[in-house]
Amino acid sequence: MPTTETSQKAVILASFLILSAEASFAGVSALVKFISQDQPFEQLVFFRNLTAFLVLLPWLWRKGASSLKTTRLGLHLVRAAAGITAMYLFFYAIATIPLAQATLVLLLSPFLIPVIGWLWLKDYVARQTWLAIALGFVGVFIFLDPMNSELSPVIAVAFLAAALAAFTKTVIRRMSSTESASKIVFYFSALATIASGIPLLWLWEPIPSHHWFGVLAMGLLAVYGQLAMTKAFSIAPPAKVGVFTYSSVIFAALLGFWLFNEALAWHMLWGALIIFVAGYFAIRSRRKS
């Protein structure tokens, strides 16, 4: 009985951590949308990466420079290039289209990972997973309601960001046989900070004092979200709590309505529910595989 109790408590705690992480990520998106009205979104990408890098510096100090030795530098560079491009595209989409739409399209990323693994790594994909992927796309179609709504072409930019994000996860899996998770995260943070700092040599604009709090909050929320998500999946199995990662679209829709007067409609709710169901079945089928 105590073991079951502990397990239930772990699932409840992990679920809360994931929900708080997704709320934090939605908060980051809202801050990006708000601040990018006055500042180039490229600056926000840089500060997002810089904050994560600074948080990782104590790890480097503790482990020492020898812990950075790698035989997979090429894959680290590929992962960094794809990841930073995805971040630029997603931040641009956030600044341009409604928060909920940008967040929803990015949620296609988990459904694209098995497809990329199948094409690149020749992974086996179960029939249930293919059905979950198809259901996920149906949910997105219903949420966006293209038959009755005029959609921005920037939706395609968000989809490309989702595809690149899925590709980076596949690259991480390829590296994980020889590279530790902390080393993978560190290389990405360092390379992304350097890469996103270069465009600021000609794009930099002074940041007004009233925006610095938002820039700092954006970085801290992003770091908290990553830490909370990591902790959640370390104490509870993804099959039980992973579906809560799709809650970000609900938080984004509410923030978009509250802060930017973006429309809410019933088809958005039905589409989000279908994506929740598709995500649940995708996670369950991967667990069985």
Give the pLDDT confidence score for residue 2 in this predicted structure.
45
Mean pLDDT for the stretch of residues 240-269: 82
Q: Which of the two residues, 67 and 224, has the higher pLDDT score?
A: 224
The domain segmentation of the chain, as residue ranges, is 2-288
Q: Band the pLDDT of 287: cuts 50, 70, 90.
A: low
Mean pLDDT for the stretch of residues 161-177: 82
Give the pLDDT confidence score for residue 47 in this predicted structure.
87
Q: Which of the two residues, 22 and 4, has the higher pLDDT score?
A: 22
Give the pLDDT confidence score for residue 85 in this predicted structure.
93
DSSP 1: -
Mean pLDDT for the stretch of residues 222-230: 81
Q: Could you tell me the CA-to-CA distances from 15 to 218, 226, 254 in Å, in that order?
A: 22, 14, 20
> Alpha helix (H) ranges present in the chain?
2-35, 41-63, 73-96, 99-106, 109-120, 127-144, 154-175, 181-197, 200-203, 209-235, 238-241, 248-260, 266-288
Tens of pLDDT, residue by residue over 14-65, are: 888 888 988 998 998 899 899 888 888 888 889 888 887 887 788 767 766 6
Give the pLDDT confidence score for residue 132 in this predicted structure.
83
DSSP SS3 for 149: coil
Among 61-70, 111-120, 221-230, the least confident range: 61-70
Nearest residue to 136 (alpha-carbon basis) of 107, 114, 169, 113? 107
Long-range contact list for 260-263, CB < 8 A, 24+ apart? 260/30, 260/33, 260/98, 260/99, 262/98, 262/99, 262/100, 263/98
